Chain A
Amino acid sequence: MKTTPANKNIRRRRSLSRNDRFTLAAFIGIPTLMQIIFLWLPALITIILSFTYWNGINVGDIKWAGLANYRNIFFGTPVFYEALKNNAIWLLWFTFIATPLGILLAYQIDRKIKGHKLFETVFYIPVVLSLAIIGIIWNFMFQPGGFVQGLMGRDISNAVSIWGNYSINTYVIMGVASWRHIGYIMLLYLAGLKSVDPSLREASAIDGATEWQTFRKIVLPTMRPVNIIIVVITIIESLRAFDLVYIIYGTSTAWPLLNILVFQNFAGQGISMKGAAYAVILLVLCVGPILLYLRSVFKEDLK
């Protein structure tokens, strides 16, 4: 049994000329080599570096540290747990608020309610903007002299700090993050909804099903592949959340996230391999959703 596919392979390869085999090797080899050198090799090096002491300046100074970096993180760095908490808040918010809102929005737009074309455009615009721009735009809302400050009746001279107010900044950050996420989820879902047979929905409407019943019993189940992808995107985005907070706070730990801690230890001054260890922790957390995604996407091929 086992020899049959191998034989086939050999026959296949023999039918190719030397030139063709060379072309195929180049077709595979060049991109794969690039992918390995610039992506997988650096990732591997980071994993190794996470077990060392190094200040990032001289390669000769690298010293073996064993698990010291991890021990330091887990037992000696309270900010790590703060970051975990913020990542968890991010995940919960996205899972229970932003993503469902994006899905419901897609559903309503797909029903072609009045103004659906305009809505689709408006909600998607934030997704095409660079975070460098998003940071500036939201600063105009919250910074001294910004719109919200104006609403609160405060001019530049007597402005209050919104980003620095710990009782509200979590909500503000979640709001701005959703500003981007909802449009993204909406568009992904909208694309999937186009493939749902409209007659199914009509039939359920004629049978007297309510809007909500139709959505839960007809639309959601038929969208299973898209649902999995959206779940994975939501989890991964929450775990590697970073740029938005970086734009607001830089590498300070005013509102720490795992990725911010990586960046703080890993770039600029004061490089320490604790950053590598943070990155590896992040990677470990991402492995689950990545595998889930790969499994659902390559379901047929893996069989």
Chain B
Amino acid sequence: MSSSIVQNKEYRNKQKVKDNFISAFIGFFAFVWIFPILWTIWTSLRPYNDIISNGVFSWPRHLNLDNYFTAFRKMGLTHYFLNTLYVTIPAVVLTLFLGSLIAFVVSRYSFRFNLSLLLLFTAGNMLPIVLTYIPVFWLYIKIGDLFGNRSLLYNNYLGIILVHVAFQVGFATFVLSSYMKTVPKEISESAIIDGASVFRHYWNVMLPLLRPPLAALGVLMSCWIYNDFFWALILMSQDSKRPVTSALRQLQGQYITDFNLLAAGAIIVAAPTVILFFVLRKQFVSGLTLGSTKG
């Protein structure tokens, strides 16, 4: 008896040493991982001339936030941030709304094509996006011509919002429907017995129960849509209408020589999602979990 305890203690001590070693090892890589970001921040705090005249590793003569102010002023970031808002908020709200509709019907009413519907949406989320570039572009122009206004969808926020919704709604549907399956059927049954209409059943009974996954998905999708810059490059012909991530891509070419300014711009554009992640980390993680661990 006593010998096994001694053995155990020895084992634990050994494990402790090993764990410290592992910690140090991962810690080293964590530093390597964060380093490029730290370096970008460091660069953003120095004026360009400092590097030119004194070299990459020179000790800075000035450290200040000038580049940040200049970036806001010269790059017009505020304007681009607004563009991002015009796209992201409606896209996220619409995606969650439509996704919850499908998830609600599929999990609460038994139609023959329920599963096919769910498969259609989930598979749609995994299609290679490039498959749709040219047709979507043409579809937008044609639909625009049909209504006598070429920029009804093309070169318009509405168009970008709709493609984002079409691509993200599959994931939302999948996550929300698997969540709804865990909500007891009795809740729905009592709502139906009480004579609630389908709409009331959805709006007053189910939707409030969906708050946790909706919050999680909302955070995750805001991040994804915020970060996307491809659709805007294809579907927005006017630079001034592009969201901030696409604009940054554009500015990269424009300010290629003043990379301290560019560094400040990159940090400013990165800030919203990083802050979102820090503040709403629980939602972030549970959004991914809901979508992935349902086996």
Q: A residues within 8 Å of B by Cβ?
A: 5, 8-9, 12, 16-17, 19-20, 23-24, 27-28, 30-32, 34-35, 37-43, 45-46, 49, 56, 59, 105, 108-109, 111, 113-115, 118-119, 121-126, 128-133, 135-141, 143, 145-147, 149-150, 155-156, 179, 183, 187-188, 190-192, 195, 206, 208, 211, 224-226, 228-229, 236, 239-240, 242-243, 247, 259, 262-263, 266-267, 271, 275-276, 279-280, 282-283, 286, 290, 293-294, 296-299, 301-302
A199 to chain B, nearest CB (A): 17
Interface contact A24-B198, CB-CB below 8 Å: yes
**Stretch from B59-67, B100-108, B207-215 that touches the partner:** B100-108
Question: Which 8 A-B residue pairs are closest in the complex by CB-CB distance?
Answer: A225-B295, A150-B56, A42-B135, A130-B227, A38-B166, A191-B289, A42-B132, A31-B98
CB < 8 Å neighbour of B22 from A40, A113, A190: A113
Known: A191-B288, A301-B115. A132 touches B22 (CB 8 A): no
A121 to chain B, nearest CB (A): 8
Q: List 13 A-B contacts (CB under 8 A).
A: A12-B109, A27-B102, A27-B104, A27-B105, A28-B102, A32-B117, A105-B26, A128-B227, A179-B33, A195-B293, A224-B295, A282-B130, A302-B115
CB < 8 Å neighbour of B292 from A206, A226, A280: A226
Residues on A with C-beta less than 8 A from B170 are 35
Complex CA gap A9/B110 in Å reads: 7
CB < 8 Å neighbour of A45 from B121, B135, B252, B289: B135
Complex CA gap A298/B295 in Å reads: 8
CB < 8 Å neighbour of A145 from B34, B51, B105: B51
CB < 8 Å neighbour of A301 from B118, B245, B284: B118
Known: A136-B248, A136-B262, A137-B37. A34 touches B135 (CB 8 A): no
Q: Is B27 an interface residue (CB 8 A)?
A: yes
Which residue of A has the minimal Cβ distance to B173?
Answer: A31
Residues on A with C-beta less than 8 A from B22 are 108, 113
Interface contact B262-A191, CB-CB below 8 Å: no
Residues on A with C-beta less than 8 A from B18 are 211
Interface contact A294-B229, CB-CB below 8 Å: no
A31 to chain B, nearest CB (A): 4
Known: A34-B162, A40-B124. A125 touches B23 (CB 8 A): no
Q: Is B151 an interface residue (CB 8 A)?
A: no
Count how many chain B residues have C-beta atoms less than 8 Å from C-beta atoms of the other chain. 100
Residues on A with C-beta less than 8 A from B55 are 150, 155
Interface contact A128-B120, CB-CB below 8 Å: no
Interface contact B277-A34, CB-CB below 8 Å: no
Q: What 0/1 pattern do residues 260 to 273 of B give for CB contact below 8 A with A?
A: 00110110011001
Interface contact A239-B128, CB-CB below 8 Å: yes
Q: Is B165 an interface residue (CB 8 A)?
A: yes
Residues on A with C-beta less than 8 A from B283 are none
Q: Is B126 an interface residue (CB 8 A)?
A: yes
Secondary structure class of chain B's binding surface, majority of residues: helix
Which residue of A has the minimal Cβ distance to B228?
Answer: A130
Interface contact A136-B274, CB-CB below 8 Å: no
Q: Is B167 an interface residue (CB 8 A)?
A: yes
Complex CA gap A98/B246 in Å reads: 28
Interface contact A34-B198, CB-CB below 8 Å: no
Interface contact B259-A140, CB-CB below 8 Å: yes
Interface contact B288-A187, CB-CB below 8 Å: yes
Interface contact A141-B33, CB-CB below 8 Å: no
B52 to chain A, nearest CB (A): 7
Interface contact B132-A35, CB-CB below 8 Å: no
Interface contact B112-A35, CB-CB below 8 Å: no
A12 to chain B, nearest CB (A): 7
Q: B residues within 8 Å of A by Cβ?
A: 8, 11, 18-20, 22-23, 26-27, 30, 33-34, 36-37, 39-40, 43, 51-52, 55-57, 98-99, 101-102, 104-105, 109-112, 115, 117-124, 126-136, 138-139, 162-163, 165-167, 169-170, 173-174, 197-199, 202, 223, 226-230, 234, 245-246, 248-249, 252, 259, 262-263, 265-266, 269-270, 273-274, 276-278, 284-286, 288-289, 292-295
Residues on B with C-beta less than 8 A from A41 are 135, 139
CB < 8 Å neighbour of A130 from B110, B173, B229, B259: B229
Which residue of A has the minimal Cβ distance to B56?
Answer: A150
Interface contact A9-B56, CB-CB below 8 Å: no
Interface contact A298-B292, CB-CB below 8 Å: no
Interface contact B131-A136, CB-CB below 8 Å: no
CB < 8 Å neighbour of B293 from A16, A122, A225, A243: A225
Which residue of B has the minimal Cβ distance to A29?
Answer: B101
Which residue of B has the minimal Cβ distance to A229?
Answer: B292
Interface contact A136-B20, CB-CB below 8 Å: no
B228 to chain A, nearest CB (A): 8
Interface contact A46-B124, CB-CB below 8 Å: no
CB < 8 Å neighbour of A283 from B23, B131, B133, B285: B131
Complex CA gap A46/B234 in Å reads: 16
Known: A128-B273, A141-B36. A119 touches B27 (CB 8 A): yes
B97 to chain A, nearest CB (A): 9
Interface contact B34-A125, CB-CB below 8 Å: yes
Interface contact A137-B36, CB-CB below 8 Å: yes
CB < 8 Å neighbour of B23 from A16, A114, A228, A275: A114
Interface contact B266-A42, CB-CB below 8 Å: no
Complex CA gap A275/B128 in Å reads: 13
Complex CA gap A35/B127 in Å reads: 12
Known: A140-B39, A146-B56, A294-B123. A38 touches B162 (CB 8 A): yes
